[in-house]
């Protein structure tokens, strides 16, 4: 395995010489350790089949039902482009251009994801990642102490509404995933990684209120923490996709977001979402 940490960054590495479709047990064990250390692993030129991506992702743990290998694309199954302003998938794609962690709006947050590229636009369409662990370490100790005492409510419905991209769960082409949750998970602003024991901030676009704070104050505090998290260049990585690339990221430590592209060009990606452990990624539902 040829692993090259990203230069000048607090996280991330490029891995070459390791075909994900035929990993030995020893190679997988080494890869898993590298994932926990670097948070983000980029595998160029893998060209995984759908079944191969699922098989690889399942080695990392159970997958979220319905998201074993979900298409994330502005291209419909019939080959036509999605261009209607009210298209459900495009609303979610536009929403996901804001910094977020997957499934924080569900009772159990996702553990991570395997993401692959089949068709990429000529320009843009990158995926950006940000290191919430390094952001926590760089936070003023007084703010750290305050964050340790607070919990935030998370909701996909609220985050889409704030962006003017509301989508109804009933009859939605987006499967209603996260749009039909009764209540909002209440999550600490500080996440303790269950496998490394390290702390990170836990903020993103789905956090919309803080227990015990007035709405305006809560939103201002969440916004300030998010701005801090992505402010330093060394804590942010933008991956420019090539067809065949595969990326594995740790959703318990990183933020991510899609970058804009010309929607007249197709972008076809496949997303396999790793289910979190209810004991460590679960959260009570609030009002």
- The answer to whether residue 284 sits within a structural domain is no
Domain that holds residue 194: 2-276
Give this prediction's pTM. 0.95
pLDDT in tens, the chain (287 residues): 899 999 999 999 999 999 999 999 999 999 999 999 999 999 999 999 999 999 999 999 999 999 999 999 999 889 999 987 788 889 989 999 999 999 999 999 999 999 999 999 999 999 999 999 999 999 999 999 999 999 999 999 999 999 998 877 666 666 566 777 778 999 999 999 999 999 999 999 999 999 999 999 999 999 999 999 999 999 999 999 999 999 999 999 999 999 999 999 999 999 999 999 999 999 998 76
Instruction: Identify whether 45 is part of a domain.
Output: yes
Question: Which of 167, 250, 154 shows the shortest CA–CA distance to 203?
Answer: 154
Question: Total structural domains in the chain?
Answer: 1
Alpha-carbon gap, residue 90 to 253, rounded angstroms: 26
The conformational region for residue 199 under phi > 0 = left, psi -120 to 50 = alpha, else beta, is: beta
**Inside any domain, residue 287:** no
Task: Answer for the pair 11, 134: CB distance below 8 angstroms, yes or no.
Answer: yes
CATH value at residue 98 = 3.60.130.10
The per-residue pLDDT for 119 is 96
Q: What pLDDT is recorded for position 59? A: 97
CB half-sphere exposure, 215, CA atoms < 13 A: 1
Residue 183 lies in a domain: yes
pLDDT at 287: 62
Work out whether the CA dihedral 277, 249, 175, 211 comes out positive or negative. positive
3-class secondary-structure state, position 254: strand
Residues 6+ apart with CB under 8 A from 86: none
Q: Note the residue count of the chain.
A: 287
CB neighbourhood size of 207 (10 A): 30
135 in a domain, yes or no?
A: yes
- Is 281 part of a structural domain of the chain? no
Nearest to 204 by CA among 69, 285, 99, 62: 99
């Amino acid at each position: 395995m040829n692993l090259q940490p990203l230069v000048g960054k607090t996280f991330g590495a490029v891995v070459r010489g390791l075909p994900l479709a035929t990993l030995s047990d020893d190679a997988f064990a080494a890869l898993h350790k590298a994932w926990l250390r670097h948070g983000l692993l980029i595998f160029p030129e893998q060209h995984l089949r759908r079944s191969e991506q699922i098989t690889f992702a399942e080695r990392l743990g159970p997958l979220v039902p319905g998201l074993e290998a979900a298409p994330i694309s502005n291209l419909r199954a019939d080959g036509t482009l999605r261009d209607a302003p009210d298209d459900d998938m495009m609303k979610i794609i536009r929403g996901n251009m804001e910094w977020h962690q997957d499934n924080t709006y569900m009772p159990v947050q996702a553990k991570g994801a395997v993401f692959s590229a089949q068709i990429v636009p000529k320009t843009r369409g990158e995926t950006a990642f940000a290191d919430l662990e390094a952001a926590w370490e760089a936070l003023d100790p007084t703010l750290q102490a305050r964050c340790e005492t607070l919990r935030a409510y998370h909701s996909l419905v609220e985050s889409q509404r704030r962006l003017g991209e509301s989508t109804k769960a009933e009859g939605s082409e987006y499967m209603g995933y996260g749009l039909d949750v009764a209540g909002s998970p209440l999550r600490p602003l500080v996440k303790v990684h269950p496998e490394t024991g390290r702390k990170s901030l836990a903020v993103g676009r789905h956090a919309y209120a803080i227990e015990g704070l007035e709405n305006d104050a809560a939103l201002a505090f969440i916004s300030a923490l998010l701005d801090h998290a992505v402010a330093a260049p060394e804590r942010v990585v933008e991956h420019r996709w090539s067809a065949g690339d595969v990326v594995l990221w740790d959703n318990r430590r990183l933020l991510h977001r899609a970058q804009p592209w010309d929607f007249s060009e197709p972008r076809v990606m496949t997303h396999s979402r790793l289910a979190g452990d209810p004991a460590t990624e679960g959260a009570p539902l609030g009002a």
